[in-house]
């Protein structure tokens, strides 16, 4: 069994006590603090591109139950389920990328190891037992947490060499909870994947790459690992003895590209590992779910100010259904609004306002 399974966490996104969806995540340690890393769309319940709430009853989560390993040296590990509220009156309780356009579908929850968290434990008859627990236990039986860093090697130069050596067709693994499948200990399932696009170049100029994998719902937010059971790292013609099995964290899996059916192209998207540190360093809280989307009046205001940057011929070109100008204008407005309006809504507003636009025009 890969020891790094202990770093993987199970997530239940809820509204109140009603479970809306399940997902995957990872415990991460950075600058002496612990964090839960997962997909942004898990915590918001919204599609990262359209911003539409995905639950059929249009409910968005307000808390998440995180099931995470607490390890007792010499005894073993046990998974504890605890509740994190996703927002308070003035802010969310998770970070997003500080330059979140195009939207980076990764979010990070900071954990406070000094504050007890409310537990969520169900007994055999279905009742939920309440109580509080410290993530790190002290006293006669002190506990440890199991972040990803516990299973990587600590040599940062060697780590960078390993990451730079991974390329198209190499084999990776995604430990998570496909279709919410797990055993009674909440251990994750390891799904196999193959690198499908260059890690170095990224995809469309973003810190994103593609994998070929038969992934399933419930895996979103899971870490993507290079895994070596033998403890021997091969870089070029050199074999480096690590001495124990290890993983290398290569990013966060967030779902399939253009997915409509289970029998689609099975191309998954992975945000590269560097975005996690960027999110933590940025300490940028997200918008509340009910404040995330900008209203139609603000969209219209930005559309009109953008149209004023075109000359009269440019407006005519936007009104030409065979030209691409309308899409260029829409993309510029989408970026100016930091992705806080659905792009279809922006395009519709551009077409409506351009059709009746009489100026002002950009000076020739």
- pLDDT tens digits for range 290-326: 889 999 999 999 999 999 999 999 999 999 999 998 9
Q: What is the CATH number of domain 3-285?
A: 2.40.10.120
Task: Give the CA dihedral 38, 39, 41, 42, nearest 10 degrees.
Answer: -30
pLDDT band at 262 (very low <50, low <70, confident <90, very high): low
Alpha-carbon distances of 24 from 27, 98, 243, 287, 295, rounded to whole Å? 11, 23, 29, 22, 32
Beta bridge partners of 228: 246
Pick the CATH number of 296-356 from 3.10.450, 1.10.10, 2.30.30, 1.10.3470: 1.10.10
C-alpha span between 36 and 251 (Å, rounded): 13
> What share of the chain has pLDDT > 90, as a percent?
63
- Kindly report the backbone phi and psi dihedral angles of residue 150, in degrees, each rounded to the nearest multiple of 5, phi listed first: -70, -20
Q: Domain boundaries in the chain?
A: 3-285, 296-356
The pLDDT-based confidence of 241 (bands split at 50, 70, 90) is confident
Distance of alpha carbon 124 from alpha carbon 205, whole angstroms = 50
Residue 244 pLDDT greater than 70, yes or no = yes
- Report pLDDT digits (tens) over 30-62: 999 999 999 999 999 999 988 999 888 889 999
């Amino acid at each position: 069994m890969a020891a790094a399974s202990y770093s993987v966490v199970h997530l239940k996104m809820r509204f109140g006590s009603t479970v809306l969806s399940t997902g995957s995540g990872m415990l991460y340690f950075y600058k002496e603090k612990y964090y839960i890393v997962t997909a942004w769309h898990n915590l918001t319940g919204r599609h990262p591109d359209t911003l539409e709430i995905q639950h059929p009853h249009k409910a968005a989560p307000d808390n998440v139950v995180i099931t995470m390993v607490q390890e007792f040296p010499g005894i073993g590990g046990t998974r504890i389920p605890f509740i994190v509220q996703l927002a308070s009156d003035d802010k969310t309780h998770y970070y997003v990328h500080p330059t979140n356009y195009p939207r980076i579908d990764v979010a990070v929850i900071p954990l406070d190891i000094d504050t007890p968290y409310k537990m969520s434990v169900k007994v055999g008859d279905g009742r939920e037992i309440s109580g509080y627990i410290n993530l790190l236990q002290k006293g006669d039986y002190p506990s440890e947490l199991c972040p990803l860093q516990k299973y990587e090697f600590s040599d940062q130069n060697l780590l960078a060499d390993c990451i730079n050596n991974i390329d198209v067709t190499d084999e990776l693994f995604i430990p998570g909870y496909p279709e919410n499948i797990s055993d009674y200990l909440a251990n994750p399932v390891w799904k196999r994947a193959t690198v499908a696009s260059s890690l170095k170049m990224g995809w469309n100029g973003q810190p994103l790459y593609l994998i070929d994998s038969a992934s399933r719902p419930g895996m979103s937010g899971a870490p993507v690992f290079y895994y070596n059971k033998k403890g021997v790292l091969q870089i070029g013609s050199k074999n480096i003895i690590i001495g124990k099995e290890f993983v290398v964290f290569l990013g966060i899996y967030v779902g399939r590209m253009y997915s409509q059916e289970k029998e689609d192209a099975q191309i998954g998207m992975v945000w590269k590992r560097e975005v996690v540190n960027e999110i933590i360093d940025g300490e940028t809280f997200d918008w509340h779910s009910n404040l995330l989307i900008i209203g139609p009046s603000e969209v219209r205001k930005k559309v009109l100010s953008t149209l004023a940057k075109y000359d009269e011929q440019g407006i005519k070109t936007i009104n030409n259904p065979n030209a691409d100008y309308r899409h260029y204008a829409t993309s510029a407005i989408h970026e100016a609004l930091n992705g806080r309006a659905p792009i279809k809504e922006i395009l519709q507003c551009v077409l409506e306002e351009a059709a009746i636009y009489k100026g002002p025009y950009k000076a020739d």
